[in-house]
């Protein structure tokens, strides 16, 4: 049995919630591997999902959006046989906001430099980016050309290149489709502001953090799961262990 699976079993036996880690645009579940190891070492179980809006190269036409991603997240939530703390990174906050509404076993939502949107908002509308009706949006957005600095500015060059090589296109519809329900209205939430983020600016983060019950801060950039996995795991464990 892997250390992560062992931690999940131990967490369930102890009554601790399990963590569900949801990645952002262009990424996959791979980005959480170091955090999962660090959480397991602390006795916390964590599972991940792969969002369908992160699509293979060459994808075209009407591709998965927020509703598709939210369905996958909700299936993962429902698959946890006890309380779960849902952790969303960046774009992942959009489907998590949608998926957690009405989920009886969600103990807490953590937005890690993530989109804590309200009903009727999309990622683009929050940022003030003009866009078409999501029902007519097709195609993908490639990973940002400035991704090395914007996403991974505090990583060594070799680690930046390794991460960049694993990124895939992101469905354009995922950025334009609005949420229709917001779990954070009825569930406890914490917003983690990454103070030196060059992708989702701290000013945008702070606007959304006003919607959360608690606000925490991490130094560093947009991807602490790679740049500071130990520090992030420690903070997530602290948040998950705090009685609500």
Q: Quick check: 125 pLDDT over 70?
A: yes
Q: Quick check: 9 pLDDT over 80?
A: no
The per-residue pLDDT for 20 is 98
Per residue in 27-43, pLDDT tens?
999 999 999 999 999 99
Is CATH 3.40.50.1820 the right assignment for the domain spanning 3-241?
yes
Q: How confident is the model at residue 195 (pLDDT cuts 50, 70, 90)?
A: very high
Per residue in 149-166, pLDDT tens?
999 999 999 999 999 999
- Full 3-state SS string of 171-225: ECHHHHCCCCCCHHHCCCEEEEEECCCCCCCHHHHHHHHCCCCEEEEECCCCCHH
pLDDT top residue among 174 and 14: 174
- Minimum mean pLDDT among 11-15, 21-25, 119-123, 179-183: which range? 11-15
Across 9-21, average pLDDT: 75
pLDDT top residue among 130 and 127: 127
């Amino acid at each position: 049995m892997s250390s992560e699976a062992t931690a999940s079993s131990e967490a369930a036996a102890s009554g601790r919630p399990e963590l569900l880690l949801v990645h952002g645009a262009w990424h996959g579940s791979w980005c959480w591997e170091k955090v999962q190891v660090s959480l397991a070492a602390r006795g916390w179980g964590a599972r991940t999902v792969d969002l369908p809006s992160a699509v293979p190269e060459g994808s075209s036409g009407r591709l998965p959006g927020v509703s598709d991603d939210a369905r996958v997240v909700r299936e993962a939530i429902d698959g946890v046989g006890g309380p779960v703390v849902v952790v969303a990174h960046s774009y992942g906050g959009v489907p998590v906001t949608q998926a957690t509404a009405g989920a009886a076993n969600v103990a807490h939502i953590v937005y890690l430099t993530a989109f804590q949107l309200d009903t009727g908002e999309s990622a683009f509308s929050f940022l003030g980016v003009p866009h078409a009706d999501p029902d007519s949006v097709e195609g993908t957005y490639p990973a940002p050309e400035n991704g090395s600095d914007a996403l991974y500015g505090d990583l060594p060059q070799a680690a930046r290149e390794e991460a960049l090589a694993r990124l895939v296109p992101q469905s354009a519809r995922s950025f334009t489709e609005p949420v229709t329900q917001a779990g954070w209205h009825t569930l406890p939430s914490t917003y983690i502001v990454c103070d030196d983020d060059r992708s989702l600016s701290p000013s945008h983060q702070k606007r959304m953090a006003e919607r959360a019950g608690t606000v925490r801060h991490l130094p560093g950039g947009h991807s602490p799961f790679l740049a500071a996995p130990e520090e992030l795991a420690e903070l997530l464990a602290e948040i998950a262990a705090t009685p609500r």
